């Protein structure tokens, strides 16, 4: 017959509570321990670690840092900064173009504004196609130079878009030139990105590196959308000095980030100029 003996819980004792069971000549003792819930600090730390790992898996290539070149992270940091600057300036320049097109005015014709916008983009596309047909063969030889050119021509295009409302009768011409410059930027940046991505793919993981770069661009766009909506969108059409000050500061930061990003690339192939220097 099994007997159980419990200690009085009200009795003062510093020892761990025990339960004793007896069955014939066999006696068993169990120690009763109180369940300790996890501390709030450990829960917060675990949650932060989980968020960090999820962000790492979504934004960085699998096997990082061993699966990419050593300069990958530094380049991507500068690339993120320049992309954010471009997105925020695009909000300001697009607002200037829309306002000059008559958007928001009662007397303006929506159809006329839409036609002007489509024609502006059409001229930009034609200009980028012409540019690609002239210099397309040189992108692989001078990747760093063309990457820097793409971002500088983007600065020119956005600046022209900002200046277009001041051009009076030449508004459409200036806006079309700005659209052409930004279209050329997109074409050249896309061409050089392929070579840079191939350079970073150290473990034959070209698709993974390319996919994570796309995820990074999406994240930057989302952050830029939030920041632009709350900080820059209210400036459009309000204070011209404030708009131009913000645009100038973002442009300066954009140029600096691009210069630093391109400068940290350690490409392993020789272009024509470096090959001539190496042969001497």
Q: Which tens digits make up the pLDDT trace of 155-178?
A: 999 999 999 888 888 888 899 999
What pLDDT is recorded for position 102? 65
Output the pLDDT for position 13: 53
Task: Say which DSSP state 169 is in.
Answer: G
pLDDT at 74: 95
Predicted pLDDT of residue 200: 92
CA 131-134-136 angle, to 5 degrees, is 85
Average pLDDT of the residues of the chain: 80
Q: Where in the chain is the domain with CATH 1.20.1250?
A: 69-279
The answer to whether the CB of 64 falls within 8 A of the CB of 202 is no
Tell me which architecture the domain covering 69-279 has in CATH. Up-down Bundle (1.20)
Q: What is the DSSP string of 123-154?
A: HHHHHHHHHHHHHGGGTTT-HHHHHHHHHHHH
Greatest Cα pair distance, the chain, in angstroms, is 109
- Reported as a pLDDT band with limits 50, 70 and 90, residue 273 is low
pLDDT confidence band for 12 (50 / 70 / 90): low
Q: Does 115 or 241 have the greater pLDDT score?
A: 241
Count, in order, helices (H) and strands (E) of the chain: 8, 3
Alpha-carbon distance of 273 to 248, in angstroms, equals: 34
pLDDT level of residue 32 (50, 70, 90 thresholds)? low
Whether residue 38 is predicted with pLDDT greater than 60 in this model: the reply is no
Rounded alpha-carbon distances, angstroms, from residue 58 to 112, 139, 218, 241? 43, 30, 11, 40
- In this prediction, residue 9 has a pLDDT band, given cuts at 50, 70 and 90, of low
Euclidean distance between CA atoms 216 and 80, whole angstroms: 8
User: Taking residues 150-157, what's their average pLDDT?
Assistant: 95
pLDDT reading at 27 higher than 90 = no
Q: Per-residue pLDDT for 244 more than 70?
A: yes
State the pTM of this model: 0.76
d(CA 94, CA 88): 10
105 vs 182: which has the higher pLDDT: 182
Q: Looking at the predicted structure, is the pLDDT value of residue 14 above 60? A: no
DSSP letter assigned to residue 11? S
Reported confidence tier of residue 127, pLDDT bands at 50, 70, 90: confident
Name the H helices within 60-170. Answer: 72-100, 110-135, 143-163
């Amino acid at each position: 017959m099994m007997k159980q003996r419990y200690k009085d819980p009200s009795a003062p004792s510093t020892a761990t509570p025990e339960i004793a069971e007896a069955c014939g000549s066999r006696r068993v003792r169990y120690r009763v321990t109180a369940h300790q819930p996890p501390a709030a600090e450990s829960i917060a730390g675990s949650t932060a670690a989980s968020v960090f790992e999820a962000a790492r898996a979504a934004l960085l290539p699998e096997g990082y840092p061993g699966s990419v070149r050593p300069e990958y992270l530094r380049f991507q940091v500068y690339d993120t900064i320049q992309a954010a600057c471009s997105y925020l300036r695009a909000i300001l320049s697009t607002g200037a173009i829309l306002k000059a097109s008559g958007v928001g005015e009662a007397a303006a014709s929506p159809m006329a504004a839409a036609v002007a916008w489509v024609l502006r983009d059409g001229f930009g596309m034609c200009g980028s196609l012409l540019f690609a047909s002239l210099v397309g063969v040189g992108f692989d030889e001078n990747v760093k130079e063309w990457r820097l050119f793409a971002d500088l021509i983007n600065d020119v295009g956005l600046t022209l878009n900002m200046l277009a409302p001041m051009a009076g009768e030449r508004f459409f011409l200036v806006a079309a030139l700005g659209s052409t410059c930004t279209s050329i930027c997109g074409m050249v940046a896309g061409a050089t990105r392929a070579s840079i991505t191939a350079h970073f793919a150290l473990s034959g993981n070209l698709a993974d590196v390319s996919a994570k770069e796309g995820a990074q661009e999406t994240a930057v766009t989302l952050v830029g959308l939030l920041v632009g909506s709350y900080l820059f969108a209210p400036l459009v059409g309000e204070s011209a000095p404030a708009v131009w000050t913000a645009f100038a500061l973002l442009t300066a930061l954009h140029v600096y980030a691009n210069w630093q990003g391109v400068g940290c690339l350690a490409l392993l192939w020789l272009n024509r100029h470096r090959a001539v220097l190496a042969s001497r």
